[in-house]
Structure 1
Amino acid sequence: MGRELPGAAGSASVARGLVRSALAAWEVGAPTRDTMVLLVSELVTNAVVHAGTSVRLECRHEGDALLATVSDRYPGRTVAVRDDGRGRGLRLVRALSDEWGSSYRRDRKTVWFRLALASARSGPCAGRAEAVRPRGARRPEGPSALPRPAGAGGTAWAEHGAANPPAPANSRAAVGGSPDEAIARPHTEPPEALPTALARGARRRSGSARGGGHPAAGASPHVDAGWVTPGTVSFLAEASDLLTGQLDEDRVAALAGQLLVPRFADWCAVWLEDPDRGVPPRLARVWHHAEEQLDELRRRLASGPPATTRAADGGLNGHAVRWFPPFAEVPAAARGRSAVACRLIAGGRAVGTLALGRAGRDAIPDEVLRLVEDFARRVALSVVSARRYAQQATISQVLQRGLLPRGEAALPHTETAVVYEPVGENAYAGGDFYDVFRAGPDRWCFALGDVCGKGPEAAVVTGLARPVLRLLAREGYGVPGTLDRLNREVGEQTRFLSLVYGELVPRDPSVGGGLRCTVASAGHPPPLLREAGGAVRAAVTPQLLLGIDDHVHYESQTFTLAPGETLLCVTDGVTERRSGSRQFDDHDGLAAVFAECAGRDARGTAEHIRRAVHDFGTGEPTDDLALLVLRATGPGAPDTPAIRPLP
């Protein structure tokens, strides 16, 4: 039986009803049934009151025993049996169950217990008196993988509190570990050392100062002993997961403040700096639990990070140090204890400063200082990673932009439009490329290509093709001669390249105007020509890919692009866009969509085809998408930019 319950007051009543129904179906007797209902009710109530999250309840009948687990979404609040007269829930679980324990994972905390059925008990263990009933110790794996105790278990003990009884040698105690595993492991110390170890752990978990065994004066309600060990590890694991996913240093600073406030402090500030680049500390983020005080706090911290963090005791060692914040509202009782600052150190270099503080008389205990140091190291590493990513992204953007045309060529009496959509996050250029440029007084050239492959290797060929095309065209080589020479250059790179390349020469208006087009297609989807009447046909015949055979000779075809006619060039990202087993260009799909563009200008034609390609598939495109539209107009029509892509 399993059920997700809301974090509301009525959940305990609902849980009791569910357990009673399940036990009735399993025909469990009254004594065990009442005990089971009582313990489940106590655990659900604890989860609702102390965690405040939704609660997952599961009950199982396992042969001669009953198992119950109660999970909540607040692993930071650890389980503790209190012996101060408050909180009877876990004391009842400890006294009445045969076996119980707790486990912690990154996103949840689980408390479980097992009850042996009355028929499974014999001898002195059949009673419920705790003095004669053996109870097993907690296990790290959770209840589902645990065997029933063989009758010689140790005494169950709480993870926290100095009044807990010592654990026997074969018991397990909660210690630090992976947040994805239950935070427990067997003790490795000899039996005679365990009481000392437990007492030492109790002192640490009760708020002792460094070097002393007494709780820190003015212990804050923001954090208690429950945050140490599993709670601390859970918080740091959560922080690591969130911080490592940030690729911007300012986002890292913002997230750091959100994680610390109000959980550990009333306010938090992060300064970032980069000494290697001569960037002084800047206040990157300020966070306050009371938003109306945020602007005032930012103003008071604008002077710079705490000077104490630059001293010997808080320099490049990354230690958290106490400091007096630059505002007078802090009372004398908390002077020097209400704020903490820690340098953000990664790889022996400072990348900033983290500061946090509290208002009023609350002092920050030493446990939080140690936690801040661990947290600051994670923040510093995330800042460094974000800066490296930003640096690499900038280099990549500069290189990619260099693969695309930077100028604008205006063809006389011609409308032009380009759609260029490379695949990949933050990609500015891909394996597809285009170019439109002036090659002479009355000659313009255009190209649309696709390098076989992806990544830097493809970018090398892209970076080679455009300059070579421009150089050869301006040296006077025609379309066939240009492709012959480019073919040999591409072959030396051991890569393949498909390309549509053409030359445009305006025709005299006295003979009808328009453009004389000389075009060749090397292994590329053939360009389509839409006539003024709406008919669509292939303009040229495809030939061999560039880079396969150094000795091949390419041929071109010449035709007239009359006023009102449109030439369309696309890459295989358009023709091979998939929807299930179908491709966009199956059964001349591209030609059909192109025919629908009658009466549209170049930009309208490009946008209509782009939308049709995107609407054809169900997901994001998996290949670069590029198309070039050239539409001849009559004499006197305004010139338009040739290579400005559609927004």
Structure 2
Amino acid sequence: MDTTRVSSTAFDGTPQAPAHARKFVRQVLGEWRLSHLAEDAVLLTSELVTNAVLHAGTGVELTCRLDVDATPAKLEIEVEDHHPARTIPPAGEPPSGDATSGRGLALAGMLADAWGVTYTKRAKRVWVRMEIGDGFEPHEPPGRLGMLPVVPLETLHVGVLVADLDGVVESWNTEAEKLLGWQAEQVVGRSLKDLVAWQGHGPYALSLIDTLALCRWRGEARMRHRDGGLVPVYVSQLRSRGHAGERRSIWMVVPAEHRGVLTPPSAPMRREAGRRIKELLDHDMPFTELLDTIAQIVQVSSGGDAAYVLLSAEGGDRFGVAAGAGTTAGLVGVLATGVFGPERRTPVMTEDLLAGDVELADQLRARSMACAPLLVGGAVIGYLVVTAARPGHFDQELTISLQHIAGQVAVPVQRGRLAEQDRAHRGRLSFLAEAGELLAGVHDEELIAALTAQLVVPKIATWAAVYLTDLTGMTRLAHVWHSDERNNADLRKSLPAIPRSALDQVDWPIGPENVLAFPLLTQGRSYGALVIGRTEPTLPLELADLLADLCRLVSLNLHTAMLYARQATTSRVLQRSLLPMRVAPMPGLESAVVYEPAEEGADVGGDFYDLFTVADHWCFALGDVCGSGPEAAAVTGLARHAVRLLAKEHYTVADILDRLNHALLEEGDEGRFLSLLCGELTPLPQGGALCTIASAGHPPPLRLRPGGEVRAMATPQLLLGIEADARFHVETFELAPEDVLLCVTDGVTERRNGDRLLDDGDGLAALLSGCTGLSAHGVAERVRHAVETFAPEPSQDDVALLVIKASAALRQAVR
């Protein structure tokens, strides 16, 4: 009888491989009850894998092999890489060539009883051998948990299939036909990928092809039945060579409930657990690794399907998942209270959770449970929990052992937790500060969704999706982001674009990651949800709280963005009523307008313009209301519509100013003064136009002659809205062909750069004099650019300017 035990796994050639290898060897030696060899074995493994990664740079396969019938019993650890060209000197000889090559293997000579290297055409295997002393017990003691569960033998079918290393099925026995419904001729030649719903197993998440390449593998899987369903099965794989020397994988497959036929359940190692915990606490390790290792020890030593470490949240009355091991269920944050509470200070065993706490049974996906409190100074700081899928799996003896472990780890866990909380608090503040700074001032919902997804990937999740809910209640997928950008398109296709149910009730697509949804809520209103996918089986409470804080921050920014969008829509509607939709065409006259509100995001302000036809002439107006923003825009609307209405009724320019002056005073809004430049253009037979103009406290218009001469063409009079008895007069001049008339608001003349204004020393006139020969649009653009670049900071006042240029074409237009 072959009593050799073999366990293999594989890693990519990355810097993380040595750490994964150390965890794998610790776990395997714990299962084999060889913890007394763990420290030397882990150190040797770390050196072998590190050498393979550094010097070979390829993927690495790690194999642990235990021969219990050898004299003495021996443990071998083998590391295989795929770069055999780089040789390693024999034991006792110094390395040659590269001075660093093989240096780490000096430890093998000191710690191992033997070591060596095996070369093939495609691979290099470095192995170490350790002889096992008297501390090894080859036979596990019988116990209730070591017994096979009672299941009907009629359902037992041991399917046997053979596949090559590419996963192509070569043979399929009749028992496999009974188990899965497929006839041999239907599956031979097909890929196992079509028959196995593979999601990876354990913390190393090997692909199906990588698993086929292992010497031996055992684990759970789901295989596709001919009727379309998925059958939970247990697989035991061996690798062998065919007649021609080709490697083949042999799978023995049984229903999951008959897994004990291929490998009996691990018997609890309660006597070993205490010693392993003591060894664990003697070593300094990161807090998260400490909790993960405790959970693994509890899970393995108890024979349960899963184990958890729960820790109290702030306030001490809530308990959240901090670590998990085994077939964990993707738990998030706080568990249902149930048996967990700050007042419970004794261990508890529950034979069937469905009989007492259905919600907790659903969260844990378990029927039986045992837990023990972590007590420090009489206060409950957390729990050790172990679960199993079938009821009645644990006994009272286990609770005593579990409480003993809890007593050992409580104080070290609390000490590490306090240090981790301080570090996490600083990291949490830093993360939220970064998020707040990144989202600050962003008023676009789509951009907020994109930034949110990229904030959590890859720091917290493998992928993230943001759903947005608009004011009508419609929810849509706004943005997705995957840590591998090549998967973004597939991720978007796999998620519902418009969910047909509430986001907390969506049946998310099943994939290799655990999918979690967090609502975006503020002020009692939903703005959507943040959905993430994580490969880790649990979400620690600290991360759950951090994501909740992030979602509140994102919700507030979405709320602000929606208010901003509503205000922008209102401004656009107001602009359509306050500013002309189009400037009236004037034959023989060319016009150009520049309008820029000072307030960021506004479309209208205190400046306004208009240019329209009345009978056989044109009217124009340029005004500036004291102030800016919506209040000034209200006066703008009154002034522009009043000017247009009075002009259409054939009032003179002087009468228009007089009537508008009285209208403003009747409004009674003190401090709302208005400067207005109003004029008429009447075409002349010889070309050009006769301009009648009046300025009520407005910067005078400037006329540019073709020779470059610039002159102010109106005398400022009293502002409108100040004195009821004010009287206004007009001035008349001729705008000859090629003449340019520039009308501006004080946002142009008073543009400031330190103590200087743009119009100091007739600066605007000098600027205009250099515009000879330009079109009206060319003049307007040159003045606008000069205003913009006059100072490094943006203008604090509304800017409006109107340019009119006469041309000789007017003579032909009026004939």
Deviations 1:165-193 (A, max 9, x none): xxxxxxxxxxxxxxxxxxxxxxxxxxxxx
The CA deviation at 1:604 is 1.6
Q: Residues 86 and 557 (structure 1 numbering): CA distance in 2 closer, same or farther, change over 3 Å?
A: same
Match of 2:564 in 1: 389
Deviations 1:478-508 (A, max 9, x none): 1111111011112233321111100111112
Deviations 1:194-232 (A, max 9, x none): x9667868638x9999xx9989xxxxxxxx966754444
Could you tell me which of 592, 599, 606 is aligned with 1:424?
Answer: 599
Deviations 1:92-145 (A, max 9, x none): xxxxxxxxxxxxxxxxxxxxxxxxxxxxxxxxxxxxxxxxxxxxxxxxxxxxxx
Residue correspondence of structure 1 range 504-583 to structure 2 within 5 A: 504-508=681-685, 512-583=686-757
Deviations 1:588-637 (A, max 9, x none): 22212211222222122222222333343343222222211111111369
1:357 aligns with 2:533: yes
1:327 is aligned with what amino acid?
I
CA distance in 1, matches of 2:386, 2:432: 21
The question of whether the paired residues in 1 share the 8 Å contact of 2:695 and 2:714 is answered with: yes
Normalised by the length of structure 2, the TM-score is 0.47
Deviations 1:401-427 (A, max 9, x none): 422111230112001111222212122
Q: Which SS does the other structure have where 2:747 is aligned?
A: helix
Match of 1:406 in 2: 581
Could you tell me which of 286, 293, 299 is aligned with 2:493?
Answer: 299
CA distance in 2, matches of 1:200, 1:306: 46
CA distance in 2, matches of 1:207, 1:468: 79
Could you tell me which of 334, 337, 345 is aligned with 2:521?
Answer: 345
CA distance in 1, matches of 2:597, 2:523: 36
Deviations 1:23-71 (A, max 9, x none): xxxxxxxxxxxxxxxxxxxxxxxxxxxxxxxxxxxxxxxxxxxxxxxxx
Q: Residues 549 and 465 (structure 1 numbering): CA distance in 2 closer, same or farther, change over 3 Å?
A: same
Match of 1:290 in 2: 484
Match of 2:284 in 1: 86
CA distance in 2, matches of 1:426, 1:402: 18
The question of whether the paired residues in 2 share the 8 Å contact of 1:207 and 1:365 is answered with: no
CA distance in 1, matches of 2:590, 2:377: 82
1:622 is aligned with what amino acid?
Q
Could you tell me which of 382, 393, 399 is aligned with 1:203?
Answer: 382
1:285 is aligned with what amino acid?
H
The CA deviation at 1:277 is 1.1
Normalised by the length of structure 1, the TM-score is 0.59
Could you tell me which of 428, 439, 457 is aligned with 1:261?
Answer: 457
Q: Residues 199 and 232 (structure 1 numbering): CA distance in 2 closer, same or farther, change over 3 Å?
A: farther
Q: Which SS does the other structure have where 1:502 is aligned?
A: strand
The alignment's C-alpha RMSD in Å is 3.5
The CA deviation at 1:581 is 2.2
- Structure 1, gaps ≥5 residues long: 1-81, 89-160, 163-194, 216-223, 312-322, 331-337, 640-647
Q: Which SS does the other structure have where 1:563 is aligned?
A: coil
Deviations 1:536-593 (A, max 9, x none): 2121211111111111111001111111111111111111122332222222222122
The CA deviation at 1:255 is 2.1
The question of whether the paired residues in 1 share the 8 Å contact of 2:758 and 2:764 is answered with: yes
Q: Residues 573 and 228 (structure 1 numbering): CA distance in 2 closer, same or farther, change over 3 Å?
A: closer
Residue correspondence of structure 1 range 8-157 to structure 2 within 5 A: 84-86=282-284
Could you tell me which of 236, 243, 246 is aligned with 2:442?
Answer: 246
The question of whether the paired residues in 1 share the 8 Å contact of 2:677 and 2:695 is answered with: yes
CA distance in 2, matches of 1:446, 1:208: 84
The question of whether the paired residues in 2 share the 8 Å contact of 1:412 and 1:506 is answered with: no
Q: Residues 638 and 197 (structure 1 numbering): CA distance in 2 closer, same or farther, change over 3 Å?
A: farther
The question of whether the paired residues in 2 share the 8 Å contact of 1:339 and 1:358 is answered with: yes
Q: How many residues align?
A: 421
The question of whether the paired residues in 1 share the 8 Å contact of 2:568 and 2:602 is answered with: no
2:605 is aligned with what amino acid?
G
2:382 is aligned with what amino acid?
R
CA distance in 1, matches of 2:504, 2:446: 22
Give % identity. 48
2:592 is aligned with what amino acid?
A
CA distance in 2, matches of 1:203, 1:245: 41
CA distance in 2, matches of 1:460, 1:308: 43
The question of whether the paired residues in 1 share the 8 Å contact of 2:701 and 2:741 is answered with: yes
The question of whether the paired residues in 2 share the 8 Å contact of 1:433 and 1:448 is answered with: yes
1:587 is aligned with what amino acid?
G
Could you tell me which of 486, 490, 497 is aligned with 2:660?
Answer: 486
Q: Residues 207 and 300 (structure 1 numbering): CA distance in 2 closer, same or farther, change over 3 Å?
A: farther
The question of whether the paired residues in 1 share the 8 Å contact of 2:696 and 2:720 is answered with: yes
2:530 is aligned with what amino acid?
L
The question of whether the paired residues in 2 share the 8 Å contact of 1:271 and 1:305 is answered with: no
Q: Which SS does the other structure have where 2:809 is aligned?
A: coil
Match of 1:436 in 2: 611
The CA deviation at 1:520 is 0.5
The question of whether the paired residues in 1 share the 8 Å contact of 2:700 and 2:712 is answered with: yes
1:327 aligns with 2:510: yes
The CA deviation at 1:475 is 0.3
Q: Which SS does the other structure have where 2:550 is aligned?
A: helix
1:506 is aligned with what amino acid?
P
The question of whether the paired residues in 2 share the 8 Å contact of 1:520 and 1:555 is answered with: yes
CA distance in 2, matches of 1:239, 1:617: 32
| Larger Rg belongs to | 2
1:629 is aligned with what amino acid?
V
The CA deviation at 1:250 is 2.1
Q: Residues 273 and 629 (structure 1 numbering): CA distance in 2 closer, same or farther, change over 3 Å?
A: same
Match of 2:238 in 1: none
Q: Which SS does the other structure have where 2:788 is aligned?
A: helix
Could you tell me which of 254, 264, 272 is aligned with 2:468?
Answer: 272
The question of whether the paired residues in 1 share the 8 Å contact of 2:599 and 2:628 is answered with: no
The CA deviation at 1:473 is 0.4
Q: Residues 532 and 247 (structure 1 numbering): CA distance in 2 closer, same or farther, change over 3 Å?
A: closer
CA distance in 1, matches of 2:507, 2:626: 63
CA distance in 1, matches of 2:730, 2:588: 23
1:350 is aligned with what amino acid?
S
Deviations 1:509-553 (A, max 9, x none): xxx221011000111111112223332212121111111111111
Match of 1:22 in 2: none
CA distance in 2, matches of 1:298, 1:638: 63
Q: Which SS does the other structure have where 1:518 is aligned?
A: strand
Q: Which of 579-588 and 265-274 deviates more?
A: 579-588
Deviations 1:331-365 (A, max 9, x none): xxxxxxx2212332333333212221224x64434
Q: Residues 573 and 241 (structure 1 numbering): CA distance in 2 closer, same or farther, change over 3 Å?
A: closer
Q: Residues 357 and 580 (structure 1 numbering): CA distance in 2 closer, same or farther, change over 3 Å?
A: closer
CA distance in 2, matches of 1:580, 1:328: 62
Match of 1:635 in 2: 809
CA distance in 2, matches of 1:592, 1:228: 63
Match of 2:647 in 1: 473
CA distance in 1, matches of 2:547, 2:499: 16
1:203 is aligned with what amino acid?
G
Match of 1:115 in 2: none
The CA deviation at 1:377 is 3.2
CA distance in 2, matches of 1:379, 1:251: 11
CA distance in 2, matches of 1:604, 1:203: 75
Q: Which SS does the other structure have where 2:586 is aligned?
A: coil
Question: Higher relative contact order by CA 8 Å / sep ≥ 6: 1 or 2?
Answer: 1
Q: Residues 637 and 273 (structure 1 numbering): CA distance in 2 closer, same or farther, change over 3 Å?
A: farther
